[in-house]
Amino acid sequence: MTSSSPDNIIGRTSEKMNQRLLEGIFDQYTSAALQKMVRLRNLPITNKKPVAIKTLAQHFYEEKYIKFALSQLGPGGRELLARLKQQGGIMNLQTLRQQVNSYTPRDVFTPALREVMGGALAFYANLDGDYLRFEGNTKHELEEPGFWGGNIVLWSPSQITDLLTIDATLEALLQPAKLQVYTGNEPPQLQQPARFEALLADIFAFSRYLELNKVKILQSGDIGKRDFVKLNEQMTVKESTSPTQVTKLSELGWLSFIWCTMIAMGLAKSNSEDRAVVDQQQASTFYTLPRYEQARQLVKAWVNSRFNDFLRIPTLTILNSSPESGSVPHLSQAIKARELVLKLFQETYNRGELSEKEQAWFDFNSLTNLIKQRNFEFLIPRTKVQTPFGNSYSYGPGYFGVSYYSGFTSKIKSVGKGKSNLDPYSRDSIQALSLDSDWDYVEGEWVAEVLSEPLNWLGIIELGLNQQQRPVAFRFTALGISVLSGKTTAEEQALANQLRELANTAPELARPLLVQPNFDIMVLAPLQNLALLRLIDRFANQVSMGDVAMYRINKETILRGFRGGLDATTILSVLNEHSRVPVAQNIEASVRGWDSEFGRLVVRQDATLLEVADPALLDQLMVDSNLASQIVRRYSPTIALVASDKAEAFIQALGNWQRNQHKKPPSVLNTGALDKGVLTFGSSYTIQVKRSLPYLFYRLGQFADLESWDEASQKAVFKLSAASIKRGRTFGQDYSQISSTLRHWLSVKEIISTETLLALKGWTGYYGETALKTERVIALQASSSAILDDIFSVPRFQLALANRATPTIVLVKEAEFEQLRGDLESLGLNLVSGAIIGQAPPPVVAPTSPGFIKPMINNPTVVIPTITPPVVTPIVAPITPPPSSTLLSPTTRSVPLEEDSGPVNPLDILALMASLGEDLLKDKIIVKPGQDICDIVVSDFVFKDVLLGDTKRSMPKPMRQEIQRLATLPPTARKEWLLELALLGMRQPSPEERQVAVDVLSLMSSTSARRMTELLYDPEPTVRYNACLVLANAGDRESLQVLQMATEDNGLTRVGSVSKIAKYAIAAISNRYPQ
C-alpha cells in the first residue's frame, strides 16, 4: 500500500473526500484505465501515472468536468448510472449487470461499464459491513475489478449522481420488474396439488408419535432411524425414497421438512434427557388458529428452519455438501434467499396483481429474472476466499477452479465446448457449472425446488411443467393469497358462516362427534377440529385418520387419561358437549366405574415413610399435636406417610419427642441424598457397593446383575452386561439415565472409563442401529502432507479417496487402488510397501512463503504401509505445563521489528496473534456467549484498526503486507487460516514455534478442542503432549473421553510423559466444568 492509500469510507457518505483519499483510490487503477479517465474527463493528457492520479483527484468534484463526462455517456451508460442513483449510489456489481442486461439478449452492461468507469463517474469497492474498501488484490481495469473476493460493488458519490438528469425514457427503464403472466402455447401440467391439508394431518400425527413414545434426539439434532421408519408408516404422504434405505432423517424430504419446521416453530423441542417432546401450550394455541394463520406460522418456521432445500435439488449431483469447502450455501444464506422470494411475492400482492378468484399462471422465468435483478448473489455469493494454503475449496471433492461452482455438478446441462481448462479425465468436469453463466442451473433450480416442495407442501404455490417435465409456470393457491393478505380465504369464511348458522338453527348438527355405544368415537372434519382431537387423544386410541377420524376408548385408554390429570367428569363433559347424540349409559357407567377403581393404586415419588416396631407407639405419635399435623396418612398399624415437604421438620420434631420420652433418637435413611462414593468400579464392568442400602440395590438391580454378596461386611458386587442393560431398557432406562445414576453415587474424583461408556452406549442403542459400517480400504502414507494435498486436489484421484486418517495417511477404496497405483506411477510417484504406520514421517518445515506450502523433498515417494508394532522414539518437547511455570511470554518471542525485505514466515504472524490474545486476556476482555478470545483477535477491528490503523506500530514490511492481505478476508476465513497455521506449528521442530502454536490454539475454545482429537493419535509423542496441553486450556467435558484414553499413553518427552499431562488436563477441565 502506498502512503496515499485510501481510508475506509463509512456507509454511503456524501461528504467530499480530500485530495489524499482520492489519490489513494485512483492509485488502485492501471495506467491504461487512468489515461482513459483523463481523456473522458477532458483533462490535460499526460503519460505519467503520478501526474494523472494527482490531476484526477484535484478536479474530481468540479462540476464542469463531471458534466463533460456525463455528456459522453451513451444510453447504456446513462441507464447504469441512473440505476446506481436509484439505489443511493451503491449496488452489487453482478446484480447491476443483471438489471442492465434484463431487456436484451446482448451484453450491453460491459460497454456501459466501460463508459461510466472511463469517465471516473464511479469506483469499484468491496463492501464489508458498513465500510467501503477500494484497495484491490491487483490493480483495477475499467471492465474488471482487482478484488479476489468479497461483496464487490460499484459506488458513485452523490456529487456525481445528483447531476444526472433522469428523463422519461430512463424513468420507464427504472420501473421495478414484475412477474409476467404465462403465455406459452400449451397449458402447463400441474406437478401436484398443494398439500396443506396433508401437512396439517401429518404434523398432528408426528406430534402424537412424540407424545406416545420416548423419541431420542441424536447429536445431529434429528431423530433416529427406528423412529422415522415407524413415522413414515403413519404419514398421509409417504416418502418417495424408502426410509429403510437411508441412514439419516436429513436424507428424506417430507419427514425432515415436518421435523425441522416443528422445531423452528417451537411445536417440538428437546427436554433435559435429549428426548423430543411436544410443547403443549404452543400446540394448543396453533391448533385453534384460523387456517391462514396456521399457514403463516408454518411458512415463517420453514424460512428459519435448518431444512436443506439445496440438497433436495433433483438436477444436481452433490459431490461435497459442506458449505465450508464448497459452494453449497450456509444456512444463514439460505434463510436470506427464502426471505427474498417471499418478499417478492408479497410485493406482487401489494401491487394488486394477485386475485384469489383468477389464480392465474405466472411465467417461471419471469420469477428467476426478477430475482437476478434484485440480488444476483442472493443464494451463493461469488466470493473466492484465499488462504496461505491456496484456495479453500481446492482440497474438497468437486473442485473445478475458482470460476466454477464447487461441490456439485448438473445432470441437465448439455455438454459444450470450452472445457479445456478443466481436467479432461474427470468424469464430472463436463457438467461443471460456471459462476458467471450457469446461474439458471443452480440458483434457478433452487427456486424450482422451493416452489415444487416446501411452498407446495405449505399450500402456497402450485408448479406447472411442460412436456419435458421442466418448470415453466406457477400459481398461487387461494390459501397462498390468504397468507399474503392476512385474511381468511373465501371458502373458509363461507364454511364458518355455515357452521354459525347451523349452530343457531340445529346446534346438535354443528357438533363434530358421534359417540357410539360400542365405545367408538367418530370425529367429523378432523382437520377443522385439531384442538378437540388433541384432547380426545388423551383418553382414546386413534384407529384411523381421513375425512373422518376414528377413535376407540377402553379401560386402558381411560386410565391413561386419569394418569394424565383428567377425571371421569371432565371426560364425560367433553364427549357430551361435542357429540351430536347423547352419550350412551353403558359408556358413562364404565367411565365412572373405572374412575372409582383408579383411586386404589397411588404412586408417590419422593415419599417419606415412618415405620415403628410397636403399633402403640404410632398411636401416641398420631395424637401428638406437633407430629400429627405432618402425617398425611396411616397405612398400617406400624407405617405412616409423612408429607414430603415437611420431612426434615418432622425428623427434628420426632427427635425432640423421643428425647422428652427418654427414648433413643430416630434412625433416618434418606434414599434421596445418598453420599457420593458409595459405589466404585472394580473393573470396566463390575461395580463395588460399599454400603448396604435397599434402595441402592433396587436401583442397581434394574440394569446390573448381583455377582457376589458378603453378608459379614455387607458389601456387594454388581456386573454390567448386555443382558442386564437389556433388562434395564424394559424398565425405561436409557444411556443418559444409567450413566447419571452411576455418576451420582461415584466419588467426585472417579470418572467412568471410556470402555464402560462405550459399552453402555452400545447396549442401550445410543448410537442407533447402523452406527458403524465397514469398507475394505488400503492405507497410503506419504513422507509429507503436501504430497497428499497435491495428489488429491486432482478431481479424478478424489474418486478413489475413502477418507483422510491423518495429514500424512489416506485411506483408498480397495476397488479403486490398482487404477490409482497405475495413474500415480505414470506421473513418477512410485508406491513401495513395508512402512510403519506408527513411525512419524520427516517433519514438515515451516513454509517460507505465506501463499502456499512446498514439500521439502525432491523425490516424493508414496508408501503402502503394513501393520507392525509402532516405533516410539523419545522426542524433545521443551514445553512445561502450567502451573509449575508460565508459558512462553510474548516479550520473549522472536518477532522482528526492523524493516525486512525478505519473505515473511507465517509463524511470525502466529506469534503476533498469540501476543494479541494474551494482551486481551490480561485486560479481562468480555467475550460474548458462543465466542472465544480468538474471535476478537481475528476481528475486523483488530486487523484493520489496531494492526493497520496504528501508525506507531512498528512492523516489517512483508508482515504488514501479509496483514493487509488477511484484512481483505472475512473474520471466519481468518480464523480458519489461523487454526490451520497453528495446527501446522504443532508439528514444527522448533520448541518456540510449537509453543506459539499451543498459545494460539488455547485461545480458540472448543474450535481447537475438536481438532486436538486427531493429534492425540499422532505418532510423535511431542505432538500428543502438546495436544493435551491445549485441551487443558481449551477443552470441555466432551474432551474428557479422549483424554482418558491418553492417560494410558506412555510416550515420553523431555519434560514428561503424555499420560501425566493428560491427567493434568482432565483435572483442569473437571475444575472448569464441574458436574
User: Looking at the structure, do residues 651 and 583 belong to the same domain, yes or no?
Assistant: no
User: What residues contact residue 400 under an 8 Å CB cut-off, 6+ apart?
Assistant: 406, 422, 423, 426, 428, 429, 432, 795
Rounded to an integer, the average pLDDT of 880-895 is 30
Rounded to an integer, the average pLDDT of 5-16 is 46
Strand 686-689, strand 705-710: pairing: unpaired
Whether the CA torsion 81, 87, 89, 91 is positive or negative: it is negative
Note whether residue 927 is domain-resident: yes
Q: Distance between CA 493 and CA 488 in Å, rounded? A: 6
Determine contact, residues 969/977, Cβ cutoff 8 Å: yes
In the predicted structure, residue 888 carries a pLDDT above the cut 70:
no
pLDDT on residue 340: 94
Phi and psi torsions of 257, nearest 5°: -60, -45
Number of domains in the chain: 7
Ranges 627-636, 895-904, 969-978, 986-995: which has the least confidence: 895-904
Q: Distance between CA 509 and CA 505 in Å, rounded? A: 9
Whether the CA torsion 868, 873, 877, 881 is positive or negative: it is positive
pLDDT on residue 534: 84
Q: C-alpha grid cell for residue 279?
A: 410443547
Determine contact, residues 353/179, Cβ cutoff 8 Å: yes
In the predicted structure, residue 910 carries a pLDDT above the cut 80:
no
pLDDT on residue 267: 92
pLDDT on residue 103: 74
Determine contact, residues 558/587, Cβ cutoff 8 Å: no
pLDDT on residue 724: 93
598, 623, 639 — which closes off a domain? 598
Q: Looking at per-residue confidence, does 471 or 863 come out higher?
A: 471
Note whether residue 1 is domain-resident: no
Rounded to an integer, the average pLDDT of 400-429 is 66
Q: How far is CA 102 from CA 99, 168, 244, in A?
A: 5, 19, 47
3-state per-residue secondary structure call for 462-504:
EEEECCCCCEEEEEECHHHHHHHHCCCCHHHHHHHHHHHHHHH
Q: Distance between CA 1032 and CA 1012 in Å, rounded? A: 11
Length of the chain: 1075
User: Looking at the structure, do residues 74 and 204 belong to the same domain, yes or no?
Assistant: no
pLDDT in tens, 977-1003: 777 777 777 767 677 777 777 878 777
Q: C-alpha grid cell for residue 260?
A: 425441522
In the predicted structure, residue 1038 carries a pLDDT above the cut 90:
no
Angle between helices 991-1001 and 906-922 (to 10 degrees): 50
Q: Distance between CA 644 and CA 651 in Å, rounded? A: 11
Rounded to an integer, the average pLDDT of 790-805 is 81
Q: Looking at per-residue confidence, does 147 or 666 come out higher?
A: 147
**Strand, coil or helix: what is 792?**
coil
pLDDT on residue 440: 92
User: Looking at the structure, do residues 720 and 629 belong to the same domain, yes or no?
Assistant: no
Of the ranges 681-690, 961-970, 1040-1049, which is most confident? 681-690
Q: C-alpha grid cell for residue 981?
A: 497455521
User: Looking at the structure, do residues 476 and 388 belong to the same domain, yes or no?
Assistant: yes
Ranges 153-157, 719-723, 877-881, 1070-1074: which has the least confidence: 877-881
Q: Looking at per-residue confidence, does 761 or 869 come out higher?
A: 761
pLDDT in tens, 30-45: 999 999 999 999 999 9
Burial environment of residue 273 by CB neighbours within 10 A (0 to 12, 13 to 18, 19 or more) = middle
In the predicted structure, residue 869 carries a pLDDT above the cut 70:
no
Beta bridge partners of 784: none
Beta bridge partners of 10: 131
In the predicted structure, residue 387 carries a pLDDT above the cut 70:
no
Determine contact, residues 81/162, Cβ cutoff 8 Å: no
- Cis before 883 (ω within 30): yes
Q: How far is CA 912 from CA 812, 935, 989, 996, in A?
A: 39, 15, 19, 9
Note whether residue 266 is domain-resident: yes
For residue 1010, count other CB atoms closer than 10 A to its CB: 14
pLDDT on residue 109: 92
Determine contact, residues 399/393, Cβ cutoff 8 Å: yes
Rounded to an integer, the average pLDDT of 613-639 is 78
Amino acid, res. 932: D
pLDDT band, very low/low/confident/very high, at 930 (cuts 50, 70, 90): low
User: What residues contact residue 322 under an 8 Å CB cut-off, 6+ apart?
Assistant: 328, 396, 407
Note whether residue 815 is domain-resident: yes
Q: Looking at per-residue confidence, does 519 or 500 come out higher?
A: 519
Determine contact, residues 26/33, Cβ cutoff 8 Å: no
Taking alpha carbons only, the member of 724, 731, 729, 691 closest to residue 710 is 691
Ranges 386-390, 472-476, 769-773, 797-801: which has the least confidence: 386-390
Strand order in the sheet with 715-719: 679-681, 686-689, 715-719, 705-710
Q: C-alpha grid cell for residue 193?
A: 396439488
For residue 410, count other CB atoms closer than 10 A to its CB: 21
pLDDT on residue 1075: 64
User: What residues contact residue 674 under an 8 Å CB cut-off, 6+ apart?
Assistant: 691, 693, 695, 696, 744, 745
User: Looking at the structure, do residues 927 and 1060 belong to the same domain, yes or no?
Assistant: yes
Ranges 450-464, 504-518, 532-546: which has the least confidence: 504-518
Of the ranges 182-196, 941-955, 1061-1075, which is most confident? 182-196
pLDDT on residue 686: 94
**Which stretches does DSSP call E strand in 109-254?**
123-128, 131-133, 151-155, 189-190
Q: C-alpha grid cell for residue 194?
A: 398443494
pLDDT band, very low/low/confident/very high, at 419 (cuts 50, 70, 90): very low
598, 621, 639 — which closes off a domain? 598
Composition of the chain by helix, strand, coil, percent to 5? 45, 15, 40
Ranges 127-131, 763-767, 871-875: which has the least confidence: 871-875
Note whether residue 401 is domain-resident: yes
In the predicted structure, residue 251 carries a pLDDT above the cut 90:
yes
In the predicted structure, residue 952 carries a pLDDT above the cut 80:
no
Q: How far is CA 963 from CA 1, 145, 388, 401, 850, in A?
A: 11, 21, 12, 25, 11
Beta bridge partners of 549: 523
Note whether residue 963 is domain-resident: yes
In the predicted structure, residue 636 carries a pLDDT above the cut 60:
yes
Domain containing 625: what range?
A: 608-668
pLDDT on residue 796: 83
Q: Looking at per-residue confidence, does 572 or 928 come out higher?
A: 572
User: Looking at the structure, do residues 634 and 688 belong to the same domain, yes or no?
Assistant: no
pLDDT on residue 390: 39
Q: How far is CA 42 from the centre of its chain?
A: 55
pLDDT on residue 507: 67
Half-sphere exposure of 433 (CA within 13 A, CB side): 29
**Structure pTM?**
0.54
What is the DSSP-derived secondary structure letter of residue 267? S
pLDDT band, very low/low/confident/very high, at 947 (cuts 50, 70, 90): confident
**Percent of the chain clearing pLDDT 90 (strictly above):** 27
Q: Distance between CA 741 and CA 215 in Å, rounded? A: 20
Rounded to an integer, the average pLDDT of 601-627 is 74
Note whether residue 139 is domain-resident: yes
**What's the mean pLDDT when you consider all of the chain?**
79
How many Å from the N-terminal Cα to the C-terminal Cα in the chain? 53
User: Looking at the structure, do residues 789 and 837 belong to the same domain, yes or no?
Assistant: yes
pLDDT band, very low/low/confident/very high, at 896 (cuts 50, 70, 90): very low
Note whether residue 639 is domain-resident: yes
For residue 744, count other CB atoms closer than 10 A to its CB: 13
**Strand, coil or helix: what is 351?**
coil
Q: Distance between CA 156 and CA 70 in Å, rounded? A: 13
pLDDT in tens, 175-228: 878 899 999 888 999 998 888 888 998 998 899 899 888 899 998 889 999 999
Amino acid, res. 271: N
User: Looking at the structure, do residues 442 and 534 belong to the same domain, yes or no?
Assistant: no
User: What residues contact residue 301 under an 8 Å CB cut-off, 6+ apart?
Assistant: 261, 262, 264, 265
User: Looking at the structure, do residues 615 and 576 belong to the same domain, yes or no?
Assistant: no
Rounded to an integer, the average pLDDT of 102-115 is 87
Alpha helices in 143-253 (DSSP H): 158-161, 168-173, 196-212, 225-234
pLDDT on residue 13: 44
Q: How far is CA 21 from CA 46, 69, 156, in A?
A: 21, 21, 15
Q: Distance between CA 409 and CA 399 in Å, rounded? A: 10
pLDDT on residue 113: 95
Query: Residues 1005, 1007, 1011, CA angle at the centre, nearest 5°?
Result: 115
User: Looking at the structure, do residues 705 and 810 belong to the same domain, yes or no?
Assistant: no
Query: Residues 313, 315, 317, CA angle at the centre, nearest 5°?
Result: 85
543, 576, 598 — which closes off a domain? 598
Rounded to an integer, the average pLDDT of 451-473 is 93
Determine contact, residues 489/479, Cβ cutoff 8 Å: yes
pLDDT on residue 250: 92
Strand 548-552, strand 631-634: pairing: unpaired
Q: C-alpha grid cell for residue 11?
A: 456507509
Q: How far is CA 879 from CA 471, 978, 997, in A?
A: 63, 21, 11
Q: C-alpha grid cell for residue 669?
A: 435413611
User: Looking at the structure, do residues 630 and 590 belong to the same domain, yes or no?
Assistant: no
Q: Distance between CA 979 and CA 187 in Å, rounded? A: 56
Amino acid, res. 194: A
Ranges 51-60, 71-80, 605-614, 932-941: which has the least confidence: 605-614
User: Looking at the structure, do residues 258 and 297 belong to the same domain, yes or no?
Assistant: yes
pLDDT on residue 162: 92
**Percent of the chain clearing pLDDT 70 (strictly above):** 81
Q: Give one DSSP letter per residue of 557-569, joined into a string.
A: HHHHHHHTT--HH
Q: How far is CA 790 from the centre of its chain?
A: 30
